[in-house]
Amino acid sequence: MSIRERIAKRDILIAPGVYDGLTASLAEAAGFESLYLSGAAVAYTRLGRPDIGLTSVTEMAETMTLIADRTALPVIIDADTGFGNALNAQRTMRLYERAGASALQVEDQTYPKRCGHLADKSLISTGEMTGKVRAMADARHSEDTLIIARTDAVAVEGFQAAIDRAESYLEAGADVLFIEAPQSREQMNAISMQFDGRAPLLANMVEGGATPISSAADLQDQGFSIVIFPGGIVRALAHTAQAYYQSLHAHGSNRPFADRMFDFPGLNEVIGTKEMLAKGAEYDAKE
């Protein structure tokens, strides 16, 4: 089932954040139907830096390729601003599709962008953004590849301006709308009412961000079709890793942390080492 077909169903699609093959495989094993690869997660993990536009299209495409090699689940990938103008956005579409992405999220910030829940953002014009959406639609190889148009206008130009921009992006050919960082439940309900029956809507849940945290079930009742949890896995692993390194430094041993980590056989079971070795043996030369 394509992601386009999946979001046509009533049940909301939950896409947890991943950033490599391991997290993608763990999310798949947990039962999720789709994944979300965010530029923030790649910046946090590969660069150890904040989400302020430091990741490149090449790093994102490389990461997408590794994830697609590990799982067949559809992946929504962060295309940031398209990494430049409309022609750059077309190139991003081609690179990401070849890497295995099922949906691209593009936003209307200036480049370099920053996290949607950080202050002092700036936007390109509505006309420039609609040009990027049209350009990406022209460049995509498969009609099943979704274009998710995101606007960050709530924090910059106000709520009504965000609604107006989203209307323009929908008219330009966006398949899904993502109005970033609504500041209240009332604003989220207004978004749903505005686009009810006209466009699937994506909600972004970021603990400590501008948007009130809601459950997937609650968001479904509000009319949203997709909910992403882009950075949760990084925050969870960073918290655990910080505690692990502090424990190892203090004790000179992993023993005090043993109940919070896999041992060697346990990790090999999770990543399927036995099964992969058996598969490789099928191709061994026979005497």
Q: Which domains does the chain have, with CATH numbers?
A: 3-231 (3.20.20.60), 238-281 (no CATH)
Q: How far apart are CA 206 and CA 186, in angstroms?
A: 18
pLDDT tens for the chain, 287 residues: list them: 899 999 999 899 999 999 999 999 999 999 999 999 999 999 999 999 998 889 999 999 999 999 999 999 999 999 999 999 999 999 999 999 999 999 999 999 998 777 656 667 899 999 999 999 999 999 999 999 999 999 999 999 999 999 999 999 999 999 999 999 999 999 999 999 999 999 999 999 998 888 899 999 999 999 999 999 999 999 999 999 999 999 999 999 999 999 999 999 999 999 999 999 999 999 998 76
Closest CA to 194 of 219, 159, 229: 159
Closest CA to 46 of 234, 225, 217: 234
Instruction: Answer whether 53's CB lies under 8 Å from 80's CB.
Output: yes
Q: Which helix (H) or strand (E) holds 93?
A: helix 86-99
Q: How far apart are CA 182 and CA 173, in angstroms?
A: 23
Q: Is 199 left (phi over 0), alpha (psi -120 to 50) or beta?
A: beta
